[in-house]
A and B are shown apart, each in its own frame.
Chain A
């Protein structure tokens, strides 16, 4: 009798497993994750994986030292790891106002952003029209910028002001609503809004929650 029971239970076990494996084909694991509503905007294709928590002032100050130390260490080695070498070479000096260098910085902006990200804001060097822009980072999320156009300095205006815009990034990477935060000059504002409208960010991954994300950008218009 016991042998019959055993045989039957093995058959039952086999059937149960067949059913479970068949069910596996229909069970989809939700790998959705929620994107931050308030994001950091990033450039290029570099990896911004290390989204850190709030950065204290001390950390910000210490960071460049660490970078230097690391770069010194790296130089001793024969083979330089690609990524860290780039990091140490392209530290953005925020006080640097020379045009040529700022252009270069925009080209290599990926590393610059990684450096500046720590301070909570990011200053991309001044553009041809005598302005740059700053992005205010409120959240931990990161969106890469695929393409951007710096606003032209409109003619007939001679003001040095910061135009601060709050804008939403739609899930497909386009810019949604743009809200000016500081009312200043209408022409400068329009120029900034018009250029910002043409920016493209990386779209959200398909398995992420498709939400609009908010970022704040500052265009400091400066006369040359």
Chain B
């Protein structure tokens, strides 16, 4: 018995599970691409942007951010664009840009989480409806149903649970993986942005502050 005919025996619930699988795989692929692009060599980026900022080359720093095209560089770029409007505006811009970028990264993850829960539940629903059908059949046969009739209905019903779990388990695993990967990315973003804010604040104060610090 090939898997395709087993799949078709599962009934209409199988198509719902298939749709779940289709969406889940699409989200997984999309997230992989997005995360791969978002991953940036934080240390290298930090060194380069720090050098430019120390030289007060804001335009150069913005150009670097545009060239990088990562969430971190996007956030820094938005902050740097507000450089002329004062330190407070820079911090606000970076915060709001950070929220936007994180939202972009996390987009689709709730759907993946839902699928990891819904797919097995759909499977259980299919099993329960299948069982109901099997037992109704036995009642119709007035109890003279042989074990083969019963087993036939039951294994067909169990197929949906199996496929639901096949979809649900990887979906859950990938969801957890993406959540941890994104939280790691968020930490990197925080590291870079706080560093950038510090440098901008220091450079804005000028050399006098440094002298005062030395005198103390």
Contacts and interface: CB of A to CB of B under 8 A. Distances in A.
A9 B3 contact: no
A49 B147 contact: yes
A13 B33 contact: no
A14 B23 CA distance: 9
A181 interface: no
A25 B6 CA distance: 9
Interface residues of A, number: 24
A81 B29 CA distance: 57
Contacts, number: 59
A29 B22 contact: no
Contact of A13 (B29, B143, B146): B29
Contact of B29 (A2, A9, A23, A82): A9
Contact of B147 (A10, A17, A47): A47
Contacts of A26: 2
A99 B25 CA distance: 73
B187 interface: no
Contact of A16 (B2, B3, B25, B144): B25
B143 A81 contact: yes
Size class of B's contact patch? Answer: 20 to 34
Given A47-B146, A81-B143, A82-B144, A12 B26 contact: yes
A5 B33 contact: yes
B3 A14 contact: no
B1 interface: yes
Given A17-B18, A82-B144, A24 B3 contact: yes
A14 B22 contact: yes
Contacts of A29: 1-3, 6
A6 interface: yes
Given A9-B33, A47-B146, A21 B4 contact: yes
B2 A2 contact: no
B143 A6 contact: no
B1 A31 contact: yes
A57 interface: no
Interface in B40-77: none
A13 B22 contact: yes
Interface in B1-53: 1-4, 6-7, 18, 21-23, 25-27, 29-30, 33-34
Given A2-B34, A81-B143, A9 B27 contact: yes
Most buried by B among A9, A21, A26, A31: A9
A5 B34 contact: yes
A28 interface: yes
A26 B144 CA distance: 36
B104 interface: yes
A17 B22 contact: yes
Contacts of A13: 22-23, 25-26, 29
29 contacts: A2-B34, A2-B104, A5-B33, A6-B26, A6-B30, A8-B29, A9-B27, A9-B29, A10-B22, A10-B26, A12-B25, A12-B29, A14-B26, A17-B18, A17-B21, A21-B4, A21-B7, A24-B3, A25-B2, A25-B3, A25-B4, A27-B3, A28-B3, A29-B1, A29-B2, A47-B146, A81-B143, A82-B143, A82-B144
Which 8 residue pairs spanning A and B have beta carbons closest together?
A: A13-B26, A24-B3, A9-B29, A9-B30, A13-B25, A24-B4, A25-B4, A10-B26
Interface of B: 1-4, 6-7, 18, 21-23, 25-27, 29-30, 33-34, 104, 143-144, 146-147
Given A23-B3, A24-B3, A82-B144, 17 more contacts: A2-B34, A5-B30, A5-B33, A8-B33, A9-B33, A10-B26, A14-B22, A17-B22, A17-B25, A21-B4, A24-B6, A25-B2, A27-B3, A28-B1, A29-B3, A49-B147, A82-B143
